[in-house]
A and B are shown apart, each in its own frame.
Chain A
Amino acid sequence: MEQTPFDPSKIGFADNPEPRCASLLILDVSGSMGGQPIKELQSGLTLYRDELAADTLARKRVEVAVVTFGGSVDVVQHFATAESLTPPALEAKGDTPMGEAMVTSLKLLEDRKAEYRQNGIQFYRPWVFLITDGGPTDANTQFWTDAKEKIRQGEEQKKFSFFAVGVEGADMDRLAELSPSRTPLKLKGLRFRDLFQWLSNSQQSVSKSNPGEAVPLSNPVAPDGWAQV
């Protein structure tokens, strides 16, 4: 035969956008996070970006957004892949509007998912990660009620996976109110870098997975993990 019948250079491949894995970080930057905690958190965030950027698939697929709460709720980073992500400079200040932060964040996520759908972009189940060292100062407001309800619904309908992480001093009972289906985790010391390493590893695995494939995540509460229950 003169020609190769199935010559890859003659066959055109569809050019679909990469499927996305949204990762939403909701970070407590209230006054009590000042000093070493916020420095370690900042360093963990930078490590997270670097680790994602170093993985050929994750850097195209994992999209990170960062919302901070401390005095006010601020969307400091809209959803972006690691390549175009500059870890925001965190500054500790003010009280802890955790409920409002959750409501703002989940709205941000809903909007992003709507954009995916509009543009025919496939996506993985999003991750929502809350890190705090205190308790909500807006627990008596509608925000707190709404936050609890939205998280409960979201978990039930598998809209996202919600993880609550308490740093030393966090009100774990309040966190448990937010996360009835998954027990909140307690960070060991200030091991933010280990936490973000785990998050990056887990998201690298998930963002490569094919339908029907189980993605075993390493257990963060194992003896050498970054958390305890």
Chain B
Amino acid sequence: MWKVVLASVTGTSHERTGTPCQDSCDFLRLKTDEEELLLVAVADGAGSAILSHVGSGEAVRQILAVIRRAQIDFSTVTYEQARGWMQEVLNHLVAVAERENTSVSQLACTLLLGIIAKNGAVFTQIGDGGWVVEKDGELVPGTWPQNGEYANITTFITTESALNTMQFVRVDGKVSAVAAFTDGLQALALNFAAKQTHAPFFMPMFDSVRACGDETDLIAPLRGFLASESVTSRTDDDKTLVLACWREPEGTSHDAGQ
């Protein structure tokens, strides 16, 4: 089954100004007739939008709810379908903005979604941050951050025509581990010149997840790592990391469900 550890931690620049953590993340195990799918959603609220912490939380909750309702069949998930889910999230944010008596741009956030199956994965995202995937013992980018021309610019789901920029990547074949992260970790986790994943960042963490008995024991250590001086001396932004590793169920290989 998939072992999942995830955390969003407030950046030091936000602590200084008293801004809440604008990153959100969550996951869901979805049983279909065929198998158990792992759904992971991550969102990073825009620093300039006053309610973006609300926006990122709503976006994560909504996309997971939409897919659960959709009763998807992993083998046939398409770009159009994923775009439809993103549109539903955007519609929801518009409704939230009306309820909060504000404009939807105040809920601006990126949105990353992963649907991970035993024999493949689908990654889709609007904005920066990214997915990495381990397959056949090799770690490669699933998606790549969209930063536009400038380092301090990205697309949010609420940006005009944002859906046109949505990345959609299908990875076929057995996947052994995946990770998702927000832009606060980008410069630590990716090599921009080579456009590659920085394996020494992810591999030791995947090893810890694979080795653990109960993954909930790893949440506090992950938070500790994300708040450590080694990390905060390199990034002052909010940062989210989701780590998921496949482990064959012990004993009889049958009931992998719970």
Chain A residues within CB distance 8 Å of chain B = 1, 4-17, 19, 119-125, 158, 206, 208-215
Contacts and interface: CB of A to CB of B under 8 A. Distances in A.
A6 B188 CA distance: 15
A13 B217 CA distance: 24
Interface residues of B, number: 52
Contact of A124 (B45, B151, B154): B151
A8 B231 contact: yes
Contacts of B76: none
B18 interface: no
B228 interface: yes
Contacts of A4: 221, 224
Interface in B84-98: none
A16 B208 CA distance: 25
A60 to B, nearest CB: 12
Given A6-B222, A8-B225, A8-B228, A209 B194 contact: no
Nearest to A126: B150
Given A4-B221, A214-B47, A14 B236 contact: no
B47 A13 contact: no
A124 B150 contact: yes
B48 A213 contact: yes
Contacts of B152: 124, 206, 209-213, 215
B205 interface: yes
A119 B193 contact: yes
Contacts of B228: 8
Contacts, number: 121
Q: Is the interface of A mostly helix, strand, loop or mixed?
A: loop
B16 to A, nearest CB: 12
Contacts of B201: 11-14
A1 B242 CA distance: 22
A212 B127 CA distance: 10
A158 B149 CA distance: 9
B189 interface: yes
Interface string B46-70: 1111001000000000000000000
Contacts of A12: 198, 200-201, 204
A58 to B, nearest CB: 14
Contact of B151 (A6, A14, A19): A19
Interface in B193-235: 193-195, 198, 200-201, 204-205, 208, 211-212, 217-218, 221-222, 224-225, 228-231, 234
Contact of A16 (B47, B153, B193, B221): B193
Contacts of B25: none
Contact of A11 (B46, B128, B225): B225
A115 B89 CA distance: 39
B171 interface: no
B47 A210 contact: yes
Contacts of A212: 44-49, 52, 108, 152-154, 156
B37 interface: no
8 contacts: A5-B217, A12-B200, A14-B198, A16-B191, A120-B194, A120-B195, A125-B149, A206-B152
Most interface-central of A4, A15, A206, A213 (chain B CB within 10 A): A213
Contacts of A8: 225, 228-231
B50 to A, nearest CB: 11
A11 B47 CA distance: 28
